[in-house]
Amino acid sequence: MQCGFQPELKFWIIAVLSKRSQRGLFVWMCASFESLGKQFRPGRIVSAWVGQRVESAVWSGFARSEILPWWLGKGCRKVDIPASRFAERSRHDGRMHWADISAGLVIRGLWDSGEEAKDSGGTVPRLWIVTRQSSPVEKETFGHERMPLLEAPLFSADPIEPVIDLAPPSPQMELF
């Protein structure tokens, strides 16, 4: 199969992709957290304190704290995500760097009750992890410009038993 690019351009594209993948830009999972010994990553079902009850939703991404009023204006609610530690993937070495979360703090999340999810074609509630700008020391330590926002709980810091995260059923049916 022939590529329609000129040889110099093909080399440049390969070099750029190689450089980007070394910096971790093509790594899907850039963050993780741990609660009760189980690791959670984007795309997984995560439980959070929503008011006085526990709810579960798909970890759909990240919300910058600098535009929190915009998220709240769209109907999202602040929630508490109890965790014992978190990790960020370094853009320098591609490794996950872990840090403990002090007792009495939670990861701040945003709960999308489902109305926004329905507007975008989704059918299940979504959860967004709120992030903030890293300090210079954090940027050097973690190799990442964003950190999860750790705050005192609005509802509870009590750990939540993990929900069994089953893969969604395959749309492909058996032929026999």
pLDDT of residue 121: 59
Residue-range definition of the domain harbouring residue 141: 28-151
The domain tally of the chain equals 1
Query: What's the confidence (pLDDT) of residue 166?
Result: 53
Given this model, what pLDDT does residue 124 score?
Answer: 73
The predicted pLDDT at position 115 comes to 60
Neighbours of 76 (CB within 10 A): 22
Question: What was the pLDDT predicted at 163?
Answer: 73
Report how far Cα 95 is from the mean position of its chain's Cα atoms. Answer: 16
pLDDT number for residue 88:
92
Answer whether residue 130 is part of any domain.
yes
User: Does 158 fall in a domain?
Assistant: no
Cβ proximity of 160 and 48 under 8 Å: yes
* pLDDT of the residue at 9: 35
DSSP track, 80-91: EE--SEEEEE-T
Is 168 inside a domain boundary? no
Name the residue with tokens 């830009």.
25
- The pLDDT profile of the chain, 176 residues, written as one tens digit per residue, is 333 333 343 333 333 333 344 443 333 346 899 999 999 999 999 999 999 999 999 999 999 999 999 999 999 999 999 999 999 998 889 899 999 999 999 999 999 876 655 555 556 789 999 999 999 999 999 998 999 999 999 999 999 987 765 545 444 444 44
Q: How buried is residue 122: exposed, middle or buried, by Cβ count under 10 Å (0-12/13-18/19+)?
A: middle
Query: Domain of 120: which CATH number?
Result: 3.90.1680.10
User: What is the C-alpha separation between 10 and 4, in angstroms, rounded?
Assistant: 9
